Every structure is written in C-alpha cells, then in structure tokens.
Amino acid sequence: MAKYTTADQIDLPALAQRYELGRVRLTPLVGGAANSRFRLSCASGKFVLTILDSHDWSSAQRLAAHTHAVFRLGVPTTEVVPAVGGALITQLGDRPVILKKWIPGEVRQPLPVPHLPEAGRILARLHALSLRSLGCGDIPVGARRLSSNHMAEIPRFADGDFAAWLTDWLDRVRAVEAENERPSRVVHGDLLVDNVIVREDGRLSVLDWETISLDDPLLDLGMAAVGLAQDGGVLAPRRLDALLAGFGDVAPLSDDDAAALPMEIVHAALIIAFHRYYRHNVRFPDPPGAPSTGRWSGSWTRWRRRLHCLADKRCDRARRSLICFMLRRPVWPGEPSSASTARASLRERGPSGAEACGLRLTATKSTRPLGVSVGG
C-alpha cells in the first residue's frame, strides 16, 4: 500500500508560520492517487496543500518549478505559493510539500461536452510552448512512455495472458511509431478528468504537472482522448470530435496526424493499462484477506485504501469484465482520406473494428476514474 499522510501528522502551526497564513483549517481532499492533499482555509484565502508522498526532494522541486513555469506562461493552472524566503517546496516531517492556490470550481465527471473543445485548445497551446520560454532545462524526455524498467516487469506479471496481450500490442504500436516520428513538444501526459477543474467562471484549469515531458503531441492527445472522450467507458465519437475540434482550432491535424491518432489513442490506453496493473497488483497489491466490499467508513485514507483493493479485484477480473468497453470505432473529425483508410483497415478485419484486431480495453473505475485496465 502506498504511504499516505493523514491530517493528524501535519504540524499546522509550523506550516502556518512557514507560509505566513495565520490561523488555518485543514480538510482532506479526495481525488488523485499518488499524493496526499488537503484544502487549507485561512483569512488570506484557500489553498491546496499537497504532501508529495511519492516524490523525493529533487523530483518535488522539479514538479514545483514546472508548475510555476507553465502558470507563468499563461497556461490556466494552479499557482504555486512560495514559503517565506521564496522556496516553492518545503519539508514536513520527512516529506516534501507544496502549497498551491485553490481554484474555485469542480471536477466534473464526465467533463461536459461543451468544455471539451477548450480542453483541446489548452492542450494544443501547451504543445506550442517552446522549451526556451519555459525556462526549465530539466523537462524529461518521453517520461510518459513505458521505460525499459517497466517493460522488464511485464513478463513477470502473474497474469500471463495480460502480459502477452500487452506485449503484443506494444510491439504493434512500436512498429507503427518507428515509421512515423513526430517532433517532440512539451506535453502534459495525463489530461484526465480529475486533472481538469471547471472553474466558477465556466472556464477550465488544468492540474497536475507530474507527467510533463517532451514527447509526441499525438500521444498526449491520445491520453486526453482516453481520459476525457469516453462516455461510460466507451470512446464516444461526439466527445472525441469536440476535443479534437478545439485542438484543431489551435493546431489543425494534418491528414497524416489524423491517420496516426487512433494508434496513439491505443498507445495511451496501453500505458494506462500497464500502470494500473502494476500499481494495484505489483507495487501495492491487495493485502491477503482484505475485504473488497462492505461499508466504507473511517478516515479518507482508509476509504481510499479500500478503493485500491477493489481496483485490484477489478483488474484481476478484467476479462470477465466489470465496466468493459471496446474501442468500437476509431473516430476522428473531418474524416480526411488517409484517416478513412486507416479506419477502414481496422474495420475490414471484422464487424467491430478494434475488437477484431484483438484490441479490447477494459476500464475500471477507481481512484483514477479513467484508468484503462486489461482486456482479452
């Protein structure tokens, strides 16, 4: 089980003094999976305090610098609040913490269709940022892709069928990508619904720069498609069109890009599938005998732990399938001819397109609501 921080472990007076906040009130926040976060209210306003449980000091500092940099460049996101003396990251116990301004609004699941074009536009504008303007020399390259260490884990997965399925599809993706390299851009890497706030003024803000990297913008768009354009677990043409329409307002897709996008959506789904399985079955496996049902009570940490356990079970049963979906139909707007050809090539293999290619993705609802798990 991941180690999360609870409210009683936080030295509130020390924290308030460090950020000159006066008297503060702390409320745990749900959402996200990697860190512990709290809403902090005081006379000077509302903030989010994130205990970066999954970070060491230097990765925490990078996260803060990247968040600060994109905010400074006008990307609608949260503002990092420095401590007295200017540090963007401080230490609480043995963990790094970051304080950010609260964005009034809500995470809406699913993100309503009228907001999807704006999400697409924000993503395309991010891709247009130059590294130089960002002013951070340490943006990782291709960090959202499965690393060689990740790949080495796959053959060890207890679920051999899933491992074979994943390997097979990753090989196909690699073969296609090898023939179509695109210039890298600054990408978000995780534009899922819980990283988007619909603000009170009706506009969007994007959170969570943990996976910022330099990479193929189409893979990033594929991530956003998996994260934002599904409806009840199915990639929804109307939603995808809305997302892509906004993206295209800022960065119109070429025919080649439109043709390449379905495979990048698949690639994104495979990456998420890997991480879900790895997190819930390898890194933080279900403790033996842990209950998977029953009344959820107690602290939010316990509640979240139960949710993880349930997610484990769901991963294991993926093929028998809970919330199961297929990419029934790769869809993209405008239907340029090369895209139509790509779609036809998927379709002609069988009546339900991607399913007939062996592609079947299963979404599981858990702390990462849009995670895509395994399929048969």
Ligand X SMILES: Nc1ncnc2c1ncn2[C@@H]1O[C@H](COP(=O)(O)OP(=O)(O)O)[C@@H](O)[C@H]1O
Smallest distance from the beta carbon of 371 to Mg ion, in angstroms? 12
User: Which CB sits closer to Mg ion, 186 or 197?
Assistant: 197
Per CB under 5 A, the segment of 55-63, 70-78, 158-166, 194-202 that binds Mg ion is 194-202
Smallest distance from the beta carbon of 105 to ligand X, in angstroms? 7
Alpha carbon distance 308, 286 (integer Å): 8
Smallest distance from the beta carbon of 309 to ligand X, in angstroms? 19
Smallest distance from the beta carbon of 28 to ligand X, in angstroms? 10
Binding residues vs ligand X (CB under 6 A): 29, 31-32, 34-35, 37, 48, 78, 100, 102-103, 107, 194-195, 197, 207-208, 210
208 binds Mg ion (CB under 5 A): yes
Alpha carbon distance 157, 108 (integer Å): 34
195 binds Mg ion (CB under 5 A): yes
Restricting to residues 103-142, name those near Mg ion by CB under 5 A: none
Restricting to residues 28-47, name those near Mg ion by CB under 5 A: 32
Which among ligand X, Mg ion, none contacts residue 323 (Cβ within 5 to 8 A by kind)? none
User: Which CB sits closer to ligand X, 196 or 324?
Assistant: 196
User: Which CB sits closer to Mg ion, 48 or 65?
Assistant: 48
Smallest distance from the beta carbon of 207 to Mg ion, in angstroms? 6
Per CB under 5 A, the segment of 87-95, 207-215, 268-276, 286-294 that binds Mg ion is 207-215
User: Which CB sits closer to ligand X, 111 or 207?
Assistant: 207
Return the bridge partners of 106, or none.
198
Number of residues counted as binding Mg ion (CB under 5 A): 3
Which among ligand X, Mg ion, none contacts residue 300 (Cβ within 5 to 8 A by kind)? none
Per CB under 5 A, the segment of 50-58, 201-209, 223-231, 361-369 that binds Mg ion is 201-209
Return the bridge partners of 92, or none.
95
User: Which CB sits closer to ligand X, 78 or 213?
Assistant: 78
List C-alpha distances in Å: 372 to 183, 230, 326: 27, 11, 11
Q: Which pair of tokens denotes residue 44?
A: 């000077």
Length, in residues, of the chain? 376
**Cα angle 362-364-366, degrees, rounded to a multiple of 5:** 165
| Closest residue to ligand X in the complex (CB) | 32
Smallest distance from the beta carbon of 349 to ligand X, in angstroms? 37
Binding mask 308-347 for Mg ion (x = CB under 5 A): ----------------------------------------
Smallest distance from the beta carbon of 194 to Mg ion, in angstroms? 5
Per CB under 5 A, the segment of 26-34, 160-168, 291-299, 361-369 that binds Mg ion is 26-34
Which amino acid belongs to residue 133? S
Q: Which pair of tokens denotes residue 124?
A: 């395309």
Smallest distance from the beta carbon of 358 to ligand X, in angstroms? 32
Q: Which pair of tokens denotes residue 259?
A: 């043709």
Binding residues for Mg ion, per CB under 5 A? 32, 195, 208
